[in-house]
Each structure stands twice: as C-alpha cells, then as structure tokens.
C-alpha cells in the first residue's frame, strides 16, 4: 500500500502507519476504512461513521421527534454499536427520541444467558432502560426445549419466526412507536442474494426497504442499512464497546454461510460491491403483475399473517401436539390435502425442487 | 482456473459472442460427466420413452436415453425459436460461434432447422416460404493474449472444418479480430485495443469491456454482411452467472434487458435460443453426439465475473437446479420494450398456425425511448437519467456528455480513474459508440460553434 508515498521524505518511508489521515491531514492515519479504503485517523473514522448513519436517518426520515423507539438488542456487535451510536446521535442532534433496549430471551443456555448479561451491562453504561421478553413466557417453550423436541435440523425456523414476533410483542407491551434493528449492509446484501437464489420475488422486492411494516402497528427500521459490518466491528473495537461475540450454539447454517463467504470475497475484490448489491436490490424492476402475498391477520393471535394462522401459531401448534414437523417446509399452513398433493408432485416431477432455505 | 472458465461468456449476457460453455470446458470434464452418469445409473430405463439403452440424467430429474435427451434439448431450442419468432424465413442468421459446447450445439440445432426448411422448400410446390440463411461469426481475441501462432491456425482450421461439415445450406464463416471495431483511420487496431484496455484499471471492468467489444464485433460482421439476426449460444448457466454479476455490479435496473430471449436494442437484433438449457447438458450433448468443439482460444473470465462463476459452480454442486431458480427469479423482473419484436407486420411471415400466438401483443409499448449506456448498452435507471439531464443542461464539453452517457457501473469499472484522461480515452473508443452521442448533441454543439470565438473559458472547449 505504501508505494506512492509523496510525503515519505519527511516521514518514515512506507510504513503504512506513518501516513497522515487523508481527511483531516493532521493526525496520523490509524486505519484503512473498509468501505472506501481511505487511510484515516481514528477521530475522523468516528466522525464519518456516525455522520453517515445520521445522514441515513435524516434522508429517510426514519424518526419523528417524541417517538418511543425500541432498539432490538442481542448483546452482539451490531446492536451494541446501534444502541451506543443512536443514543449518541439522539443527544447530539436532538432527535427527541425516547430510546430503550428490547431483548429477546430465546432460552439457549450457554449463549443467550451470557449475551443478556452484556445487554444488562449496556443498560447501565448507556443509561437506556431494558426490557427482556422470553420465549418461555410468550410461548411456553425455550429454544433448548424445542431443540430437544425436534433436533438440530430446522430449529432455526422456529427461532426466527418466534423472535420476529417476540420483538413485536415486547415493543407493543412497552408502547413503542418503532423498532430499530442492527441489520447492516452486509446482511442486506446477503439477503438480496439469497432471495435471488431461491426465487423469492416478493421478499426480493422488500428486503432492501429501510423501513418495513409501515402498514402494521409497529414499523421496523434499519439505520445500519448502508453501514459495513467491518466498520461496525472497527467502531466497537476502537471505542472498546462491551459486546458479546459468540455464535449461537445451534446456529451454523450452511446456506447463509455460502452467500456470506461470497460477499466477503467480493468485498475484498471491490469494497463497493456490497453497496452495489443493495442498489441493485432497490432498483430491480419488479413487475406489477407479480403475485404478492396478501397480508391479513392470524385468526388465533391477531399477529400479521398472509395465511389463516400465522407461522408462529402453526409452529407452536405442532410443538404442543407433538408434531414438530408441522409447518416446516413448503406446504401451506395446516392444510392436509395440500400436503398430500405436494409430496405426490415432488416425487414425480422434474422441476419444482429448488430447495428450501431456512433462516 | 476451472472456476474462471466456468463462465466463459457468462457474466456477459447478450454481449457475449463466445457464449457460456459454462462449466463445460472445466478442468475435470470427465468428473462432471461422471457425476451425470452416476445419477443416471440409478434409473436404468428412459423416463420418457421407457425404452432401454443407457440413460443420462438431466438436472434434478429422471434419466433419459440419449435419443430423448437430444430431443429434449432440441425441443427447448425449437420452442424458444418459434415462440419468440426468432427466425423468419427471410432472415439471414449470424451464429456467434466461440468453439465452445453451447454455441456448438446452437450451430448444430440451427443447422438442423435450416436443413428442414431447405428440404420443405424444395419439396413444396409453391415454394412460398424461403429457407433462412445461416452464417457463422467468430470473434478472434488472440490479440489479447500471447499464444503460439500455430494454435490460432489450428483453431481457425478446426472451426472452418466444423462449419463446412454441415450441409446442406452453405454457411459462410467470418473471422473478425476484436481490434477491427476500432475506427478504420487508425493504423494499428490491435495496438489501439491494447492501449484502451491498458487505461482500464479494474480487472472486471476490462473483462466486461472486452465483452462489449465482442458484441460490437458481431454487430459489425452482421451489418457488413447483410445478416438480420445474431444468434448467441448463451445458456441458462451463463445467464444465471450474469444475473448475479450484474446484481453485484449494481446493475439491478438494467438486468432484465439481458436475460430475455430477444434483445432488439442493437442494430441487428440478438436472440438467445439456448436460454433454457444448462451448460452441463449442452456439453454432455456434445460428448454424446461427438460434436467437435474448439476451445484453444478461450480466455478465462476474471475479476468479479470469475468469482461469481465459481460461486455458481458451488451452488450447482449443492443443488443442480439452482441455476434454473436464479433464471426464474430474473424472469420475474420486468423486461424492457426492446426485449421483443414489434408486432407490426412481423408475423405475416410466420407459418399460419403460429400466427394466432402473436395477435394480441400490445402495441402501445412498441416504441421505446430508453437511453442506453454508451459502452455496455444498459438502459438508464432513474438516477442515471437525472444525472444525464443535469449534465445536458449545464455541460458544454463533449467529454462531460460522453461520461454522462455511461451507466454508473461502466463509470466505475471502465472509465479511467483520472478524469483528465477521459478525453484521450473517449477518443480511442470505437466511433460506433461515440457517434451516437455526437449525433444527439449535434444541435447543441453547432450552436456553440457559432459563438465559439467569443467565449473566454479555455478549458471549456472540446
């Protein structure tokens, strides 16, 4: 990197660390910004990092003054940095937001209990109130119980569906106007790719929205939509933020892994590729005749659902009746006939087998 | 390397003349074939005709015997040709031949269709529907890589012999060096090609630029020799790679333009009849039918295109029909008006039983006013149009107009990094590209010419 140093004469020759920050031109550059590869100092990094998020918030009018905003906090790097930066920006730019932390306790021993300790520390460090909702309270099952019942396959389906609803319920309980999550640019780019890989045009069209669920009771937004994961890690590292960095013990998901690895390779080759993927996702010409699922409400719990019963209720039903496979796979919720037709077709046809990605 | 060649022409969609022999010419074709036949081993009889004979498997499906497999691929080809009205009886089709399995199969199939057309013309009393003509175009990219001369010669000879073995129907072969697209005024076209490529810093950008030139070469061959259609061997695997690489390059808006059966945005319309066939299937057919291929002159793709190709290879290993799924996603995106032949009077040439199929094409979309990227031909997205409008209003320099006529992706990966070299860069580009912008801005600049002497800003003058 240090091949074209013009100021090499007065400084030590070609030690990357001895260069000046390209932004302020005063301090020594301390890092290479992952997004742009510019060499900048730590202070400037904080400034550009926070300013970009502020800009995203302002440009997309994510918040209105006086709103109660729940920060989905897992104790991981993304949500920890989100909580920190958001409370900083709220103070600095007078957003007038009433922020609090909202955590979901899935009941995973050796993982979530530890990460929740981190969130509890954050509560004190950032002075944000914390609310924890647990699967046990909401559904009567912990993830540990669920895994015992169904094994390590498909358990992420349960967790994902339950978490989504748990966050909404927790937020509703605390009368929040909005939920913010720590999804970063890498996550969104990955989701765009995965939706292409599995032909899910409906999700493809909305996975790049910065705010979703605006028609529902509590919209969710992603202030880190354009923030690179590497920069979040860097920010947490330099600011010495207290976060929890262990993978879920039940998690390893091969498909996500594929796409994630691909994105990392891409980023190495061309950092802006992540933003380009998001841009592509935003600009896709989704035909207006494409069938989109109709949004309704679950007959049992009243949660938004495109089916008669929401996915969580179907899954829960299966668990409680000792048929945990119910609701997993491509069949429609609780429709026996449909199920039979499907399995019959899938054994005899050439096409229609394009796998099933789980989250 | 294996991964790189997996997308020969893959990241290129319709710009590709050496259409995606994807996966075919990889390091271990035998292994690949092996996998296919192992899958077949499970089914001893053909799933279609119930006849005996050794069966081969198609992706994710039941085994088929060799005959049925061939019929299956030919059926897909023919369906694509007829249902999209790709070839009229009066057409002269230029088949872009790279020597790879995909374009080899395309050549074989279009030859068979032509033979049949000739036969029925000869036997019919009326002789009302003439048989279409077929020619073969080969874009010679040997200028881009150092290769022993005898290799080029062998390849050329091979291609000639492949084509001449196909009769009836006399097929001319056109060899065009890639450099030929540069303006005839310049002395050394190959040197000019190298100079332009040398100015492009981004590896992926260079790769894509060559693909654009390749398309231009084909257009040139077609225009100079009176061809009315260009047929590419781009197959489903190649298109799947293109879907991902275009997404990665931020070309989500223009992507649907490249993944359709028909693309009329070029002067000579381009058709993709192998749109629904997988590269693996095509190379298997070449193997089974002993269709000779010639890939001495292949260059592996590079940069992001090669990364995407290896990603797709991996996906295919995990699920053989993944490429089809990707293709299906892309087909749900809205195509552009230029992705079909206009309805007016066109279908009169079709056999009467096909005509009803095309009667209800809506005609109100038949005129398109899409602004296309100067270099890659991508239709402009809203933000690019906005930018172009702004530039048109304030910019007086022609270079600014040129740059505003490049899509954001080309802007990033093809235009040189230093803006002060733009003038030189654009002066090197084939006139075919820059002329369009010249024509568009002619009225504006002639006004300027009239008052030129009175203008003071020096840097303003182009």
- Residue B343 pLDDT class (50, 70, 90 cuts): low
Instruction: Give the start-end residues of each E strand in B41-108.
Output: 55-57, 63-65, 92-96
CB contact under 8 Å between B246 and A287, yes or no, is no
Is B11 in contact with B211 (CB distance < 8 Å)? yes
- Is A354 in the B-facing interface, judged by CB distances under 8 Å? yes
**Nearest C-alpha in A relative to B320:** A354
Residues B112 and B226 in one domain: yes
Residues B77 and B51 in one domain: no
Q: pLDDT tens for residues A34-47?
A: 999 999 999 999 99
Q: pLDDT tens for residues A122-152?
A: 999 999 999 999 999 888 889 898 888 888 8
Q: pLDDT tens for residues B204-226?
A: 999 999 999 999 999 999 999 99
> CA-to-CA distance for B293 and B100, rounded, in angstroms?
6
Res B447: pLDDT: 58
Model pTM score = 0.83
Total structural domains within chain B: 3
What phi-psi label fits residue B419: left (phi over 0), alpha (psi between -120 and 50 degrees) or beta?
alpha
**Nearest C-alpha in A relative to B314:** A258
* Range(s) of the domain holding residue B408: 382-453
- Is B253 in the A-facing interface, judged by CB distances under 8 Å? yes
- Is B362 in the A-facing interface, judged by CB distances under 8 Å? no
CB contact under 8 Å between B253 and A285, yes or no, is yes
User: Mean pLDDT over residues B128-150, rounded?
Assistant: 83
User: Mean pLDDT over residues A233-248, rounded?
Assistant: 89
Proportion of chain A above pLDDT 70, given as a percent:
82
CB contact under 8 Å between B321 and A354, yes or no, is yes
Residue A110 has pLDDT above 90, yes or no: no
Name, of A273-287, A332-346, B342-356, the range with top average pLDDT: A273-287
Residues B43 and B123 in one domain: no
Query: How many other CB atoms are found less than 10 A from the CB of residue B363?
Result: 10
- What's the full length of chain A, in residues? 359
Q: Is residue B361 assigned to a domain?
A: no
CB contact under 8 Å between B333 and A286, yes or no, is yes
B133 forms beta bridges with B92
User: What is the helix (H) or strand (E) element at residue A134, kind and residue range?
Assistant: strand A130-134
Res B16: pLDDT: 40
Q: Is residue B23 assigned to a domain?
A: no
Residues B166 and B281 in one domain: yes
Question: Nearest Cβ partner of B60 from A193, A204, A353?
Answer: A353
Res A329: pLDDT: 61
> CA-to-CA distance for A319 and A325, rounded, in angstroms?
8
CB contact under 8 Å between A196 and B329, yes or no, is yes
Name, of A224-228, A252-256, B156-160, the range with top average pLDDT: A224-228
Q: pLDDT tens for residues A37-74?
A: 999 999 999 999 999 999 999 999 999 999 999 999 98
Q: Domain A46-286 is classified in which CATH homologous superfamily? A: HUPs (3.40.50.620)
Torsional sign, CA B451, B453, B458, B462: positive
> CA-to-CA distance for B5 and B24, rounded, in angstroms?
8
A132 forms beta bridges with A103
Residue B383 has pLDDT above 80, yes or no: yes
Q: Using a CB-CB distance cutoff of 8 angstroms, which residues of chain A are in contact with residue B381?
A: 283
List the CATH number of the domain containing B140. 3.40.50.620
Q: Is residue B227 assigned to a domain?
A: yes
Is B359 in contact with B346 (CB distance < 8 Å)? no
> CA-to-CA distance for B120 and B89, rounded, in angstroms?
12
CB contact under 8 Å between A262 and B311, yes or no, is yes
- Is A325 in the B-facing interface, judged by CB distances under 8 Å? no
Residue B76 has pLDDT above 80, yes or no: yes
Q: Is residue B357 assigned to a domain?
A: no
Which one of A258, A261, A263, A284 would you mutate to disrupt binding with B, by most B Cβ within 10 Å of its Cβ?
Answer: A284
Res B103: pLDDT: 92
Query: How many other CB atoms are found less than 10 A from the CB of residue B372?
Result: 20
Res A306: pLDDT: 80
Res A291: pLDDT: 66
Q: Using a CB-CB distance cutoff of 8 angstroms, which residues of chain A are in contact with residue B202?
A: 270
Is A276 in contact with B204 (CB distance < 8 Å)? no
- Residue B390 pLDDT class (50, 70, 90 cuts): confident
Over chain B, what is the mean pLDDT?
A: 79
> CA-to-CA distance for B413 and B250, rounded, in angstroms?
11
Lowest pLDDT segment from A279-283, B155-159, B228-232 = B155-159
Is B33 in contact with B330 (CB distance < 8 Å)? no
Which one of B252, B314, B329, B412 would you mutate to disrupt binding with A, by most A Cβ within 10 Å of its Cβ?
Answer: B252
Tell me the HSE value of B360 on the side-chain side, using a 13 A CA sphere. Answer: 1
Residues B179 and B307 in one domain: yes
Residues B49 and B97 in one domain: no
A39 forms beta bridges with A32
CB contact under 8 Å between B62 and A269, yes or no, is no
The position carrying tokens 């310049």 is B186
Res A79: pLDDT: 93
- Is A275 in the B-facing interface, judged by CB distances under 8 Å? yes
- Residue A85 pLDDT class (50, 70, 90 cuts): very high
- Is B246 in the A-facing interface, judged by CB distances under 8 Å? yes
- Is B303 in the A-facing interface, judged by CB distances under 8 Å? yes
> CA-to-CA distance for B338 and B345, rounded, in angstroms?
17
> CA-to-CA distance for B264 and B377, rounded, in angstroms?
11
User: Mean pLDDT over residues B425-453, rounded?
Assistant: 73
CB contact under 8 Å between B319 and A354, yes or no, is yes
Lowest pLDDT segment from A204-213, A241-250, B105-114 = A241-250
- Is A204 in the B-facing interface, judged by CB distances under 8 Å? yes
Query: Which DSSP state fits A286?
Result: B
Residues B186 and B204 in one domain: yes
- Residue A314 pLDDT class (50, 70, 90 cuts): confident
Res A252: pLDDT: 58
Q: Is residue B299 assigned to a domain?
A: yes
Is B417 in contact with B429 (CB distance < 8 Å)? no
Res A66: pLDDT: 94
Q: Using a CB-CB distance cutoff of 8 angstroms, which residues of chain A are in contact with residue B307?
A: 262, 265-266, 269
Backbone Cα Rg of chain B: 23
Res B111: pLDDT: 93
Res B461: pLDDT: 42
Q: Is residue B352 assigned to a domain?
A: no
- B250 to chain A nearest CA, in Å? 4
CB contact under 8 Å between A285 and B256, yes or no, is yes
Residues B45 and B70 in one domain: no
3-state secondary structure of A305: strand
- Is B313 in the A-facing interface, judged by CB distances under 8 Å? no
Q: pLDDT tens for residues B17-34?
A: 343 333 333 334 444 444
Res A154: pLDDT: 79
- Is A282 in the B-facing interface, judged by CB distances under 8 Å? yes
The position carrying tokens 């028609």 is A215
Res B396: pLDDT: 67
Q: For chain A, give every residue range classified as CATH 3.40.50.620.
A: 46-286
- Is B249 in the A-facing interface, judged by CB distances under 8 Å? yes
Q: Is the ipTM of this complex over 0.95?
A: no
Res B119: pLDDT: 85
- Is A4 in the B-facing interface, judged by CB distances under 8 Å? no
> CA-to-CA distance for B322 and B239, rounded, in angstroms?
12
The full 3-state SS of B380-393, as one line of letters, equals: CCHHHHHHHHHHHH
Over chain A, what is the mean pLDDT?
A: 82
Res A353: pLDDT: 30
Query: How many other CB atoms are found less than 10 A from the CB of residue B138?
Result: 27
Prior bond to B168 cis, omega within 30?
yes
Torsional sign, CA B103, B109, B111, B113: negative
- Is A30 in the B-facing interface, judged by CB distances under 8 Å? no
Q: Using a CB-CB distance cutoff of 8 angstroms, which residues of chain B are in contact with residue A280?
A: 246-253, 255
A72 forms beta bridges with A102
Res A27: pLDDT: 93
Q: Using a CB-CB distance cutoff of 8 angstroms, which residues of chain B are in contact with residue A272?
A: 412
Proportion of chain B above pLDDT 90, given as a percent:
35
Is B259 in contact with B239 (CB distance < 8 Å)? yes
Question: Nearest Cβ partner of B333 from A192, A197, A284?
Answer: A284
User: Mean pLDDT over residues A23-43, rounded?
Assistant: 93
Residues B264 and B386 in one domain: no
Domain end among B331, B347, B372: B331
Q: pLDDT tens for residues B164-198?
A: 888 877 889 999 888 888 876 656 888 888 889 99
Residue A90 phi, psi (nearest 5): -60, -40
Q: Is residue B154 assigned to a domain?
A: yes
Listed in sequence order, the residues at least 6 apart from B334 whose beta carbon sits closer than 8 Å to its beta carbon are: A285, A286, A287, A288, B256
- Residue B400 pLDDT class (50, 70, 90 cuts): confident
CB contact under 8 Å between B249 and A355, yes or no, is no
């Amino acid at each position: 990197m240090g091949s074209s140093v013009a100021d090499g004469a007065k400084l030590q020759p070609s030690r990357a660390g001895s260069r000046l920050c390209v932004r302020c031109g005063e301090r020594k550059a301390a890092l290479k910004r992952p997004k742009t590869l510019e060499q900048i100092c730590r202070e400037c990094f904080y400034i550009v990092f926070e300013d970009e998020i502020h800009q995203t918030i302002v440009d997309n009018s994510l918040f209105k003054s006086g709103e109660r905003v729940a920060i989905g906090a897992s104790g991981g790097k993304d949500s920890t940095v989100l909580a920190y930066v958001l409370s900083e920006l709220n103070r600095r730019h007078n957003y007038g937001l009433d922020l609090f932390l909202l955590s979901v306790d899935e009941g995973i021993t050796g993982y979530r209990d530890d990460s929740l300790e981190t969130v509890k520390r954050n509560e004190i460090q950032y002075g944000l109130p914390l609310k924890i909702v647990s699967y046990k309270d909401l559904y009567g099952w912990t993830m540990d119980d669920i895994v015992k019942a169904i094994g390590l396959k498909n358990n992420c389906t349960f967790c994902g569906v339950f978490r989504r609803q748990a966050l909404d319920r927790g937020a509703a309980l605390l009368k929040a106007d909005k939920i913010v999550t720590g999804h970063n640019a890498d996550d969104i780019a990955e989701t765009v790719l995965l939706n292409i890989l599995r032909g899910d045009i409906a999700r493809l069209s909305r996975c790049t929205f910065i705010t979703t669920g605006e028609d529902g009771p509590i919209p969710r937004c992603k202030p880190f939509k354009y923030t690179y994961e590497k920069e979040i890690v860097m920010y947490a590292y330099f600011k010495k933020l207290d976060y929890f960095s262990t993978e879920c013990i039940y998690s390893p998901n091969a498909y996500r892994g594929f796409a994630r690895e691909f994105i990392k390779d891409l980023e190495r080759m061309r950092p802006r590729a992540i933003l380009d993927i998001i841009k592509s996702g935003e600009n896709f010409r989704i035909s207006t005749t494409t069938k989109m699922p109709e949004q309704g409400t679950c007959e049992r719990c009243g949660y938004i659902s495109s089916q008669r019963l929401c996915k969580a209720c179907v899954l829960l039903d299966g668990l409680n009746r000792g048929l945990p496979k119910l609701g997993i796979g491509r069949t429609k919720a609780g429709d026996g006939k449909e199920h039979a037709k499907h399995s019959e077709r899938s054994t005899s046809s050439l096409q229609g087998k394009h796998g099933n990605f789980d989250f | 390397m294996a991964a790189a060649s997996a997308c020969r022409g893959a990241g290129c969609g319709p710009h590709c003349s050496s259409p995606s022999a994807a996966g075919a010419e990889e390091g271990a074709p035998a292994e690949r074939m092996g996998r296919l036949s192992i899958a077949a081993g499970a089914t001893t009889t053909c799933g279609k005709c119930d006849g005996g004979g050794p069966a081969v498997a198609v992706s994710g499906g039941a085994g088929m015997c060799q005959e049925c497999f061939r019929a299956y691929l030919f059926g897909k080809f023919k369906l694509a040709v007829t249902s999209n009205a790709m070839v009229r009886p009066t057409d002269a089709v230029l088949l872009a031949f790279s020597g790879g399995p995909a374009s080899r199969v395309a050549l074989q199939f279009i030859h068979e269709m032509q033979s049949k057309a000739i036969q029925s013309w000869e036997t019919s009393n009326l002789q009302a529907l003439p048989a279409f003509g077929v020619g073969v175009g080969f874009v010679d990219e040997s200028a881009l890589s150092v290769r022993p001369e005898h290799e080029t010669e062998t390849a050329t000879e091979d291609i000639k012999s492949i084509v001449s073995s196909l009769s009836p129907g006399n097929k001319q072969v056109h060899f065009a060096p890639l450099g030929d697209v540069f303006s005839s005024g310049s002395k050394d076209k190959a040197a000019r090609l190298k100079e332009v490529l040398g100015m492009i810093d981004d590896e992926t950008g260079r790769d894509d630029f060559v693909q654009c030139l390749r398309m231009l070469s084909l257009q040139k061959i077609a225009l100079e020799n009176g061809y009315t259609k260009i047929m590419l061997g781009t197959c489903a695997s190649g298109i799947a790679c293109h879907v991902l690489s275009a997404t990665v390059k931020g070309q989500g808006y223009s992507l649907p333009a490249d993944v359709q059966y028909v693309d009329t945005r070029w002067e000579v319309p381009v058709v993709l009849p192998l749109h629904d066939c997988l590269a693996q299937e095509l190379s298997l057919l070449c193997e089974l039918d002993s269709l000779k291929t010639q890939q001495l002159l292949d260059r592996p793709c590079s940069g992001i295109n090669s990364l995407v190709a290896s990603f797709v290879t991996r996906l295919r290993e995990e699920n053989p029909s993944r490429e089809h799924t990707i293709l299906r996603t892309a087909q749900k995106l809205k195509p552009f008006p230029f992705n079909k032949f206009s309805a007016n009077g066109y279908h009169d040439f079709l056999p009467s039983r096909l005509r009803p199929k095309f009667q209800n094409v809506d005609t109100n979309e038949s005129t398109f006013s899409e602004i296309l990227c100067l270099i890659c031909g991508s239709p402009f997205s809203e933000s690019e149009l906005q930018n172009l409008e702004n530039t048109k209003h304030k910019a007086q320099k022609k270079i600014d107009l040129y740059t505003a006529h490049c899509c954001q992706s080309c802007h990033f990966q093809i235009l040189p990094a230093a803006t002060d070299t733009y003038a030189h860069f654009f002066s090197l580009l084939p006139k075919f590209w820059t002329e369009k912008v010249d024509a568009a801005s002619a009225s504006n600049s002639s006004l300027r010419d009239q008052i030129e002497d009175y203008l003071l800003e020096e840097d303003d003058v182009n």
